[in-house]
Every structure is written in structure tokens, then in C-alpha cells.
Amino acid sequence: MLERHEIETFLTLADELHFGRTADRLGVTTGRISHVIRKLERRVGAALFDRTSRVVRITPIGRRLADDLTPLVAQMDAALSRAIDAGRGVTGQLRVAFLGEYLAPVLLKAVKLFTARHPDCEVDVREVQLYNSRASLLDGSVDVLVAAYPFDGMARGPALMVERRVLAVAATHPLADRKSVSLEVLADHPVVQYPAVTSAEFKRDRTPEHTPSGRPVPKGPPGNTFSEMLSLVALGRGVLPVGEQTERYHPRPDIVYVPIHDATPIERGPIWLEANTTARVREFVRAATDANTSPAAKA
């Protein structure tokens, strides 16, 4: 078994690639860092770093060990954080975010109730975009995100908003005068795509590769932001299935939103990293659910 200080020393050096900076970060001497690394290398039976008087490089074996240890350390830290939360109660800081303007009222209701219940916990609120929503959860800069389902690889709470799907088309598009359309029309028109960083399951749900009958759906150009995607629709570059709230928050004279009569609803709610399931996160999800699904919230 590796000692915690050995793992911390190794991962810090793998990050800094400099013995002096590693020693400064850990508050020890460079001699101590060298001693720990040599001890690890003897145990492994191979060099973990190539070092000269000028340069420190991690070896392939060292890189693999760092890649294997990093998620384990994160899980250990998360477990300790959950234990501390359980002992102290709901205090500290909670970082929450929303993806899409229509979810801001949902989030603010949740924050208001959570703050009333847990006045000793500070809540930081921010907005994220399509390109950084997942990264914000993975790097820990956001604890809970209120966004649309599905969200690959994340824990999720109850749906706080359910809305019908509509098809965004240019005002001059042949489908613009329809009262409703079927998902089958996607096979006849290019569909604007989400950014490459968007999760695969989400893209399959929003911009499927095939219609329900199995017909292939042609891919239109991708957009980097949701507003950019709508602009591509307005330019006639493709159509885009969206939630009906889009018409309220993104009304445009050059876009028409046509109901899709055979599509399942879109659900939105809290999403978080499973390893980051702290007491703060659990209590916020409970407050969000109570604030947005109770009879009073619907009134």
C-alpha cells in the first residue's frame, strides 16, 4: 500500500515537473521529495521520472501510474468531504449553475429555499454554456448544474421542468406554416448540430441519427453556442428540435417554432458528479425539488 504522502508527492511532481516547486507546494525540502520518489521507484522497479540538472520529464510508466491514481485520490477526497459534511452539517460554500436562460427561475427558487433552510451555507450562482457545462462539473468549479437531461455519466435528481418539443425552422422554410410535424420530417432536412463537446447521449436525444422508422437524418452544420445554432436555423442551414420554452426566451422574427406531435417531452433538473454527492448537494437537490414541484411552486 502506498502512503498518502507518497501519492501526494508523486502526483504533485507529475503536475509540476519541478522538484523545487513541488517542495514549495507541499511545504517540505527538495531532498524529501527526492527521497520519496526514489523509494517509489524502487518499489515499482522502474524510473517514474527522467531528470537532469535542467529538466524533469515523467516516463511512460510514471504517466500511467499518475493517470491511474488521480481518479482514486479524487474519490478518496470526495469520501472525506462527505464525512466532514455529515459531521458538520450543511455549511461552507455550494457552487450552482444553470444552462439556458429558462432555467434561471428554477434555480433561483431552489437557491431561495435552500438558503432559508441552511443560512450558514453560502451559495454561488453562475451561468455555464454548452462548451463548458460538463467541464465545470468535472473540474469541481460547479457542484450542481440545472440543465436538460440526459447528461452522460452524471447523477441526476427529479425533473423540475417538463416541456414539449418543437422544431425550430426558418420563417421562410416549407415547414413554417405547418400546425405540427412528425419526427419523420427530420429525414428530409439537415439538422443543425450541437458542439462536439456535447455528450453523445444528449446529442442522440436532441439530434438523432435516425427517425423512429429508421430513416437516416442528414447532419447540418454545428454551432458553438445555442444562439449560434438558432442563427444557423434562421439562415436556412438546417432545422433544430428544441424545447417549447425556446420560443418564449428566444423569440425571433426569422424563426418559427412548430410543435412535434410524436416526440417525447424534454426534462430538465439538477445534475452533479456522483463522486461529489455531499450533504450540501443532497440538500440542494431536495430544496430544488420542493421549491419547483410543490403545489405552491406551481401556483
pTM for this predicted structure: 0.65
- Which DSSP helix (H) or strand (E) runs through 82? helix 60-88
At 299 the pLDDT is 40
Q: Point out the residues of the chain with pLDDT beneath 50.
A: 297-299
Rg (CA), the chain: 25
Distance CA 266, CA 269 (A): 10
Q: For residue 79, what is the enclosing H or E element?
A: helix 60-88
Beta carbons within 8 Å of 180's beta carbon, 6+ residues apart: 258, 259, 260, 261
Contact (Cβ atoms closer than 8 angstroms) between residue 204 and residue 232: no
Residue 298 has a pLDDT of: 47
Per-residue pLDDT of 150-182, as tens digits, reads 988 899 999 999 999 999 999 999 999 999 999
Q: Which residues have C-beta within 8 Å of that of residue 11, sequence separation ≥ 6? A: 66, 69, 70, 73
Compute the C-alpha angle 207/210/214, nearest 5°: 160
pLDDT at residue number 89: 63
Return the residue matching grid coordinates 431552489: 110
Given a contact cutoff of 8 angstroms between Cβ atoms, the answer to whether 145 and 96 are in contact is yes
Q: What is the pLDDT of residue 85?
A: 64
Residue type, 61: I
Distance (Å, whole) CA 285 – CA 121:
14
**pLDDT at 78 (0 to 100):** 75
pLDDT at residue 185 in the model: 97
CA angle 208, 251, 136 (to 5 degrees): 55
Q: What angle do CA 92, 141, 15 make, to 5 degrees?
A: 110
ω into 208 cis (within 30 of 0): no
Ramachandran quadrant class, 30 (left: phi over 0; alpha: psi -120 to 50; beta: rest): alpha
Burial of 299 (0-12, 13-18, 19+ CB in 10 A): exposed
Q: What's the pLDDT score for residue 47? A: 94
7 bridge partner residues: none
